[in-house]
Amino acid sequence: MKKTILITGCSSGIGYCVAHALHKQGYHVFATARRQESVDTLLAEGLESLRLDLADSDSIQQAFEAVMQRTNGELYALFNNGAYGLPGAVEDLSREALRIQFETNVFGWQELSNLVLPVMRRQGYGRIIQNSSVLGFVSMPFRGAYNASKYAIEGLSDTLRLELKGSNIYISLIEPGPIASQFRANSAKALGQYIDVDKSFHRERYLGVLKRLHKPGPAVPFTLPPEAVLKRVIHALESSNPKPRYYVTVPTYLFGFLKRILSTRILDMLLAKAGNSN
Ligand SMILES: NC(=O)c1ccc[n+]([C@@H]2O[C@H](COP(=O)([O-])OP(=O)(O)OC[C@H]3O[C@@H](n4cnc5c(N)ncnc54)[C@H](OP(=O)(O)O)[C@@H]3O)[C@@H](O)[C@H]2O)c1
């Protein structure tokens, strides 16, 4: 029997790549997307696709029920992937801006996980894969909302892993560094929507942020294609002993190592430099 997987955020980037690749490998993929036009494209490309907006509980519930109907209540895996970065200095983040960042990146993911977990417990197996980030364990300037959302995902995942011990349900975190995708283009849109740059103390520095977000091609060295993440997703799906964490890209390995050996002060110097240089 084909293994079933529900994936969020399949309109572009990592979700798009993983959905197509797993479909080709014989998985029964539910490639979901926030916008109907993306669903239509995915359907036209031969994938089974549904609308799922992580910021909308009704949409999450409806997509989950549709999947359950089509699989007779079975689901092997969930790939929590759909998210975006809201750039901006921490002092420029309104309560509303922080809330909307968490609605998609954290609350939507956990709501969906909490729908699939009873299914996985009933069937006695399952995999949840969380697409976190290197920014889920180190911070960079002007990424506070996104950093906080990924740290929250790391905290929830670490706790859930302890609570799932012995259940034959595995939760894995993937921690990519820079990956070629629509991520920066979508971040630029979010910045325009939620940050009042002209009123900010950091007005001048936002020019640099915008330059990085609009830069064509890779913004930083060591950027990898989404296939680098796919490789870890496949391991998390198919290994009999999936890892709690998968590092992807040189910056993730580097900062993972440096965080273990350096003091916060020294690490801050490197992160401030890395975060401002691009
Ligand atoms: N690219 C990187 O450098 C990088 C590094 C580390 C981690 N990540 C993580 O990788 C994941 C995928 O990002 P990506 O790099 O592939 O960027 P991307 O190309 O921008 O893809 C993000 C996907 O998330 C979707 N999304 C946004 N808001 C959503 C919502 N409310 N409900 C459902 N889907 C929503 C987007 O849909 P729309 O097209 O409709 O907006 C898009 O399909 C994210 O979790 C991101 O944090 C990326």
188 in a structural domain: no
For residues 91 and 84, give the distance between their C-alpha atoms in angstroms, rounded to a whole number. Answer: 20
164 in a structural domain: yes
Q: What is this structure's pTM?
A: 0.98
69 in a structural domain: yes
Structure tokens at 220: 């930083």
For residues 200 and 264, give the distance between their C-alpha atoms in angstroms, rounded to a whole number. Answer: 27
228 in a structural domain: yes
Q: What is the DSSP string of 70-126?
A: HTTT--SEEEE-------B-GGG--HHHHHHHHIIIIIIHHHHHHHHHHHHHHHT-E
Q: For position 233, what pLDDT does the model report?
A: 99
C-beta of residue 28 within 8 angstroms of C-beta of residue 1: no
Containing structural domain, residue 135: 4-84+93-181+221-276
Ligand 1 atom 8: the closest Cα is on which residue? 133
For residues 159 and 30, give the distance between their C-alpha atoms in angstroms, rounded to a whole number. Answer: 27
201 in a structural domain: no
Which atom from ligand 1 is nearest to the alpha carbon of 131? Answer: 45
78 in a structural domain: yes
From the first residue on, what is the mean pLDDT of each consecutive set of 10 residues in the chain (278 residues)? 97 99 98 98 98 98 98 98 98 98 99 99 98 98 98 99 98 98 97 96 95 92 97 98 98 98 98 80
190 in a structural domain: no
Longest CA pairwise span in the chain (Å): 58
In angstroms, what is the span from residue 182 Cα to ligand 1's centroid? 7
Burial class of residue 147 in the structure, from the number of CB atoms within 10 Å of its CB (0-12 exposed, 13-18 middle, 19+ buried): buried
The residues annotated with a catalytic role in the active site are 146
How close are the terminal C-alpha atoms of the chain, in Å?
Answer: 47
Q: For position 277, what pLDDT does the model report?
A: 55
For residues 134 and 209, give the distance between their C-alpha atoms in angstroms, rounded to a whole number. Answer: 19
Number of domains in the chain: 1
Q: For position 209, what pLDDT does the model report?
A: 93
Q: What is the CATH number of the domain that holds 33?
A: 3.40.50.720
In angstroms, what is the span from residue 263 Cα to ligand 1's centroid? 32
Closest CA to 107 of 95, 98, 119: 98
Report whether residue 13 contacts ligand 1, using a CB cutoff of 6 Å. yes
Report whether residue 55 contacts ligand 1, using a CB cutoff of 6 Å. yes
163 in a structural domain: yes
